[in-house]
Structure 1
Amino acid sequence: MKKLSIIGMPMDLGQMRRGVDMGPSAIRYAGINERLKPLFEEIHDMGDIPIGRPEVVIDKESNLRNLDLVAEKSTLLAEKVDEVIQSGSFPLVLGGDHSIAIGTLAGVSKHYKNLGVIWYDAHGDLNTAETSPSGNIHGMPLAASLGIGHPSLTNIAGYAPKAKPENVVIIGARSLDDGEKILIKEKGIKVYSMHEIDRLGMAKVMEETIAYLKEKTDGVHLSLDLDGLDPNDAPGVGTPVMGGISYRESHLAMEMLEESKMITSAEFVEVNPILDEKNKTARAAVELMGSLFGEKLI
């Protein structure tokens, strides 16, 4: 892909910790444009989707936090992503909390018959209103994209589902709620937890992931939550979980995805500079993007 379009989605409506709305700014400040410029013929930074400063609203029926607002803003993002793909450009979305994936995938999936999804994350994000301990929508975007959950979230852009369970691979899982574990087994979703990453090694995990998705998908979306990395390497996230993927393993994963030429859209989410150390997490995000888009040491 010769053209890259960057879309900022400074949304913090899917959870309770303020600051993640500054994620796109932190990633830009960490030098995303300068880093990626040599790798593309054209880069368009399209600015941020307007979110404003809305008050928290709990939906009375579902107990979901900011349900209508998340749906409204996700629709705006879906339209922007759709527009970018139609223009022949690669969409790169900067978050924001992980609820933004609902909008990204709604904009991406309509362009593919069998979209693959790599969910690089400590969490499964497979909760629904019934299983969520918190009512926070950032724990639900993968379920919503599979057509499971509240209709306001599953039907963004007017269709559902955005992806099939057999076309999803979760990498880095180490914190799953009981309802998520049941759903993973029911739907047969492929998960590489930290146990598999430790046991097999990241190279083998990525080889298997690429082989699993390559034959049956016509595009693959990478949804990378910075809390997939170990908190030592990415401290600026809202829900850190110890014992995560290392910085080096993550670079290898991105390099192998670049070699596979299968990634057709991507988002990097949950960068929260308020919780960070000297913008370390945003810098890690930008460095991983470098590897994903073909930066080479030699």
Structure 2
Amino acid sequence: MTALPVSIIGVPTDVGAGTRGASMGPEALRIAGIVKAIGQFGLAVKDCGNLPGPTNPDLPAVDGFRHMSEVVAWNRSLHDAVYVELRGESLPIILGGDHCLAIGSISAVARRCRETGKKLRVLWFDAHADFNTATMTPSGNIHGMPVACLCGYGPSRLTEIGGHVPAISPQEIRLIGIRSVDAGEKCFLAEIGIEVFDMRYVDEVGMRRTMEQALAGICSETHLHVSLDVDFLDPEIAPGVGTTVRGGPTYREAQLCMEMVADTGRLCSLDIAELNPALDRRNMTAELAVDLVESLFGKSTLMRMHQ
């Protein structure tokens, strides 16, 4: 597994979400022991603290978007922070916060990949496709739009954050665990050609085969970014999210996903998004997220003698 030093960046905001509370996510993850959990692998871990940013004005949508100025401010700030850590040869871990933050983090990762000539692969673990646009979603909540924005479909204030439009190509991202997609979003995804491994596909072929396909083609020149929305998990084991969808991966399926990412040795950056402690039970979702991060960094039950 990577021996890069790890930089933890908190993004305490829920401006992109419909339900308040994800702003408390970074602290819940720290309380669950994320710094110590990563440090046990012998890696240098620097907690950069939380980014400052605007508070949630809790206002209705304007021209199809809620809190546009606040979302732009948070994502610009995060882009700059992640870019600095990547240039310093660190592995940034972003503690969210709602999932709109991935616009900032992944645009910084993509910018750095363009500079260094690395291939980019994004694994987007989520119950939702997050490929909405303002015309498709009545709520205007931007946490439902980051994949679309990263692929160049959205307001220029968001699509241009990394200095290149689109920030990523549809061929660089894989959506995994999807089970809630709006009708317009479904057509748009098919039209753009993004590879989606929904839960029916996981049911049919199993999580191992799903992950083998999602990871296919990764090599020593690949920067692998994991964007983990905690609502990817089944709400029975991860209740602390604002947008629960039944029928998600089990504990073991989720662990297998992370273990197979670890096996590649290519993990170079990570988002943890949508953890909402206000809806959690005794911080169990945060503790599960930390457990999954341990697996991402190579924790396994036994030394494996064979594959």
TM-score range, shorter chain: over 0.9
Residue identity matched to 1:131 = M
What is the rounded CA distance, in whole Å, between the counterparts of 1:11 and 1:30 in structure 2? 19
Q: Which residue does 1:27 correspond to in 2?
A: 29
What is the rounded CA distance, in whole Å, between the counterparts of 1:21 and 1:282 in structure 2? 13
1:258 aligns with 2:272: no
Q: Which residue does 2:208 correspond to in 1?
A: 203
Counterpart pick for 2:145 among 140, 149, 155: 140
Equivalent residue of 1:111, what SS?
helix
Contact 2:54–2:70 at 8 Å: present in 1 too? no
* CA offset digits 1:226-280 (Å, max 9, x no partner): 1000000100001000010111101011000000122221111111010001101
Counterpart pick for 1:225 among 210, 216, 229: 229
Q: Which residue does 1:13 correspond to in 2?
A: 15
What is the rounded CA distance, in whole Å, between the counterparts of 1:6 and 1:265 in structure 2? 10
Contact 1:11–1:95 at 8 Å: present in 2 too? yes
Counterpart pick for 2:276 among 272, 277, 283: 272
Residue identity matched to 2:64 = N
What is the rounded CA distance, in whole Å, between the counterparts of 1:193 and 1:164 in structure 2? 20
Q: Which residue does 2:80 correspond to in 1?
A: 79
* CA offset digits 1:181-240 (Å, max 9, x no partner): 1111111111111111111111111111111x4269731211110100000010000100
Contact 2:53–2:73 at 8 Å: present in 1 too? no
Contact 2:64–2:138 at 8 Å: present in 1 too? no
What is the rounded CA distance, in whole Å, between the counterparts of 1:262 and 1:165 in structure 2? 20
Equivalent residue of 1:241, what SS?
coil
Q: Which residue does 1:111 correspond to in 2?
A: 112
Q: Which runs of 5+ in 2 are unaligned?
A: 303-307
Instruction: Compute the displacement of 1:43 (Å).
Output: 0.3
Instruction: Compute the displacement of 1:156 (Å).
Output: 1.0
Q: Which TM-score applies when normalising by structure 1?
A: 0.95
Structure 1 residue ranges, 4+ long, deviating more than 4 angstroms after superposition: none
What is the rounded CA distance, in whole Å, between the counterparts of 2:48 and 2:220 in structure 1? 32
Identical aligned residues as a percent: 41
Give the direction of change, closer, same or farther, for the CA distance of 1:5–1:40 in structure 2 (3 Å limit): farther
Contact 1:257–1:263 at 8 Å: present in 2 too? yes
Q: Which TM-score applies when normalising by structure 2?
A: 0.93
For residues 1-298 of structure 1, what are the structure 2 equivalents within 5 Å?
A: 1-58=3-60, 60=62, 62-113=63-114, 114-211=119-216, 213-214=217-218, 218-298=222-302
Instruction: Compute the displacement of 1:153 (Å).
Output: 1.1
Instruction: Compute the displacement of 1:15 (Å).
Output: 1.6
* CA offset digits 1:97-130 (Å, max 9, x no partner): 1011011112111111442211100000000111
Contact 1:119–1:169 at 8 Å: present in 2 too? yes
Give the direction of change, closer, same or farther, for the CA distance of 1:39–1:134 in structure 2 (3 Å limit): same
What is the rounded CA distance, in whole Å, between the counterparts of 2:42 and 2:68 in structure 1? 37
What is the rounded CA distance, in whole Å, between the counterparts of 2:57 and 2:213 in structure 1? 44
Contact 2:61–2:139 at 8 Å: present in 1 too? no
Contact 1:10–1:24 at 8 Å: present in 2 too? yes
Residue identity matched to 1:117 = V
What is the rounded CA distance, in whole Å, between the counterparts of 1:180 and 1:279 in structure 2? 32
Equivalent residue of 2:256, what SS?
helix
Equivalent residue of 2:252, what SS?
helix
Residue identity matched to 1:95 = G
What is the rounded CA distance, in whole Å, between the counterparts of 1:259 and 1:35 in structure 2? 18
Contact 1:168–1:190 at 8 Å: present in 2 too? yes
What is the rounded CA distance, in whole Å, between the counterparts of 1:250 and 1:68 in structure 2? 35
Structure 1, 14-23 or 119-128: larger mean CA deviation: 14-23
Residue identity matched to 2:261 = L
Q: Which residue does 2:305 correspond to in 1?
A: none
Equivalent residue of 1:158, what SS?
coil
